[in-house]
Amino acid sequence: MKNLILSLSIIACVALGILAAEQQQKLGLKTEQLAAAQQQLQAAQAELKEKAAEIEDAKLAEQKNKILQKTLTESTSEVVAQSKKSEQLQQSLAEAKTNNPLHSMAAIFKDPGMREMMKAQQKAVLGPMIAKQYADLFKQLNLTQEQSAALKELIQNRMLVGADVGMALMDDSLDASKRADLTKQIKDQTDDINNQIKQLVGDDNYQAFQSYEKTVPDRMSVGQFSDQFAGTPNALSDTQQQQLIQAMSDARNSFNWTSGLNQQNAAMNSDMGSLLTDDNINKFEQEREQFDNQFLSRAQSILTPDQLNAFKDFQVSQLKLQLAGLKMAASMYNPQK
């Protein structure tokens, strides 16, 4: 689960930002078109009334009757045309306001230019995050600046593999065979990058790297909690942070997870569309709530009573965010739903 929810959240947030800008631009254009059509309709209706009044005041004659009929026919046709155009624009505008953007999200990922833009934005997010979460590992392995930079780039590339192929998997036109090929592509590319990491740091350090990576999700969680209360009476000491990370990692590894969403590197083991089902998400929610409640008893020996209460609220908010990300991802991977 360590990279799954993070990758899905990054994809969803970047995509929604781009889609929101695109929808807003379309909405503005359609609003302008509607306003112009309504102005033309009002002008045509005013002209019709004016010409009708002029003809009524004129002397009754065959020529006047012909003029009247022609004028009325032309003006009425214009009014009808503008009225229909106005109705069409109003309907289009209403659809633009109410359409669920998640149903059209997959179309964004089919555009190579859009995918490159999203990839660049993902790099901007991942760079600082990796530098912060892996800083202790770089020190632990006693790496040089050049080695640390190379390792950081490899970790980033590995994360981008899942995100890039994950975007491709959101195409609902793919059949089961193509989805299986893309899933295998994630595994092959990830294995290749892991081999490069092993060559870079050496066999012994690679084992330390693998052990450290198992704690990264918990380091991120504890880091977020610590940042929230920095400078307050509930601020965590460095010792508390390290103890909480270790306790959380031990508890997570010993918990009996059954949801496919809790698998490590889940995207390499199954199709994300079939994994992100309502049943799986509900099971994840139930197991996460159970895990959080059990872990609070361990945290009592590390945190003060006030810190423990704050951490309990933090757990609830984190679960809500994760569920929102999973449900959003489910809508993008299964747009037909």
Provide the residue ranges of all domains of the chain, joining segments of one domain with +: 19-99, 105-213, 215-337
Three-state DSSP at 174 gives coil
Tokens for 245, please give them.
């990370």
Going by C-beta distance under 8 Å and a sequence separation of 6 or more, which residues neighbour residue 23? Answer: 96, 99, 101
Going by C-beta distance under 8 Å and a sequence separation of 6 or more, which residues neighbour residue 82? Answer: 37, 40, 41, 44
Distance CA 146, CA 138 (A): 11
Using the predicted structure, report yes or no on whether residue 264 has a pLDDT greater than 90.
Answer: no
- Number of residues in the chain: 337
φ, ψ for residue 334, nearest 5 deg: -125, 65
Q: Shortest CA distance to 212 belongs to which of 127, 132, 145, 134?
A: 134
Q: Shortest CA distance to 108 belongs to which of 8, 9, 176, 21?
A: 21
pTM over 0.95: no
Going by C-beta distance under 8 Å and a sequence separation of 6 or more, which residues neighbour residue 168? Answer: 109, 174, 182
297-318 pLDDT, tens digit each: 999 999 999 999 999 999 999 9
Q: Shortest CA distance to 193 belongs to which of 228, 165, 224, 171?
A: 165
Q: Shortest CA distance to 329 belongs to which of 266, 263, 275, 259?
A: 275
In this structure, are residues 15 and 107 in contact, taking their beta carbons and an 8 Å threshold? no
240: exposed, middle or buried (Cβ count in 10 Å: 0-12, 13-18, 19+): middle
CA angle 149/188/148 to nearest 5° reads: 10
Tokens for 19, please give them.
């889609």
129: exposed, middle or buried (Cβ count in 10 Å: 0-12, 13-18, 19+): middle
87-114 pLDDT, tens digit each: 655 555 455 444 545 445 555 666 667 6
In this structure, are residues 197 and 209 in contact, taking their beta carbons and an 8 Å threshold? yes
On the CB side of 310, CA atoms within 13 Å amount to 18
Tokens for 256, please give them.
């009996």
Distance CA 134, CA 140 (A): 10
Band the pLDDT of 205: cuts 50, 70, 90: very high
126-153 pLDDT, tens digit each: 888 898 889 899 999 998 899 999 999 9
Summary count for the chain: helices (H), strands (E): 13, 0
152-189 pLDDT, tens digit each: 999 999 988 877 666 666 666 667 777 778 778 888 88
